Structure formats: C-alpha cells, structure tokens
Amino acid sequence: MFLDKVLSLIPSDMLVELAAETEVDIFSKKLQAEVIFKLLLHCLISHKDNSLRTMESAYETLLFASINQNFQKKSIRYNSISKRLSDINPA
C-alpha cells in the first residue's frame, strides 16, 4: 500500500503538534485534524477526481478504516468535512 509508506514518513506526533499549535481541534470531537489530513492524502493519492462527496465515501471504505484505526467512526457527512477543511489555516 503506497499510502502507508507515505504516512510512515510523517510522525503522528508531528500531526498532533500541528493540530495543537494551530488550535484546529478545539471545537471538534469527532473529526480530528489528523483524520482529515489522512483522508485528504488518501483521496489525493487514490482518486482521480476529488470532491467532498468522494472524501465522504472514501472515509467509509475498508482501506481507509485500516489506515484510520485510532479514530473509528462509521460514517461522516460531506458538510462536516467541508467545515473541518475550512477551519484549517493552510499557512
């Protein structure tokens, strides 16, 4: 799995530090920044056309569930993904 190799290059502690530093997870309990980052990376690598609905359906696949073992939630809505992405400052 190519995505596992890419994610192994990024320490999970670094993702936690970035989320704490940017205060992205203050008001979020279910959809943490680490999950959004992994989902975004997964969709960029494995899907030709990306959209919020594509990300929503990709979240529910077994492949992403195996990547996202720490944050198990069966389903999410595309508008939740949109809200989380808009909360993250790209700078």
Which range among 8-22, 52-66, 69-83 has the greatest average pLDDT? 52-66
Name the residue ranges covered by the structural domains of the chain.
Answer: 1-87
pLDDT of residue 51: 92
Q: How far apart are CA 91 and CA 74, in angstroms?
A: 31
Comparing CA positions, the residue from 24, 30, 27, 43 lying closest to residue 70 is 30
Q: Is the pLDDT at 56 greater than 70, yes or no?
A: yes
Q: How far apart are CA 60 and CA 73, in angstroms?
A: 9
